[in-house]
Amino acid sequence: MEQFIESTINQFGYLAITLLIAIENIFPPIPSELILTFAGFLTTNSKLTILGAILAATLGAGLGAAVLYWIGTFLDMPTLAKLVDSRLGRILHLRLKDFERAEYHFKKHGRLAVFLGRFVPVVRSLISVPAGMTKMPFGTFMLYSLAGAGIWNTVLIGFGHYAGKAWKQVMVVADDFKIIILVVLALAVLVGLGVHYLKKNKRKQAKSTEI
């Protein structure tokens, strides 16, 4: 698979990045880390640019997420369980526990799960299904999906670019780096919520003093 991905990106450039990332979003076993870091490396010795590779990858992520969201609008958990147990489900290596995990995160965190899910393998794909099942507004879903995907793509493509010929080593530390990103983002969200709460409180206090 590694050779196929490398030769496809080498031959078709941005189009290959978009299509491969879209497919990776729909079929989780395909490694996005390999696609993105190799694309980053190619920006050092081909006509590909970092910005172009990021945009192509983010477009692909959006397309893949939209397809799974659309599929989710036609599903419920019993139907999903039947699909997983079917021959097609076995061919695609689908597991019900992965969908249940994605559904759990979505029910618990909602929009935040869609955003943070982009940094977690398997969840980044499957989180789109419960979003579709619960009829989350499509515009909101895409906004959070593209924001998360854009950050993840930027990080890995950037790593691939600066690692140069050592780009494959980036994948070794990718799992640890995901944890760091999630912690940083979680802290950023908490700080953002805290600031929002304080501003809201100040506005309420200002209004009550005026009265």
Instruction: Record the tokens describing residue 49, joined without a space.
Output: 């640019």
47 occurs within a structural domain: yes
Cα(206)–Cα(116) distance, rounded to whole angstroms? 35
The answer to whether residue 181 scores a pLDDT higher than 70 is no
Domain that holds residue 120: 2-168
17 occurs within a structural domain: yes
pLDDT tens for each residue of 42-60:
898 888 899 999 999 999 9
202 occurs within a structural domain: no
46 occurs within a structural domain: yes
pLDDT tens for each residue of 99-134:
666 666 676 667 777 887 787 777 777 788 888 888
Could you give the angle at the alpha carbon of 176 between the alpha carbons of 172 and 179, nearest 5°?
A: 150
99 occurs within a structural domain: yes
115 occurs within a structural domain: yes
* Structural domains counted in the chain: 1
Tell me what the pLDDT averaged over the chain comes to: 78
Cα(171)–Cα(53) distance, rounded to whole angstroms? 18
96 occurs within a structural domain: yes
User: With bands split at pLDDT 50, 70 and 90, how would you rate the model's confidence at 11?
Assistant: confident
Task: Using alpha carbons, select from 159, 147, 158, 156 the residue that is nearest to residue 118.
Answer: 147
207 occurs within a structural domain: no
Give pTM, 2 decimals: 0.73
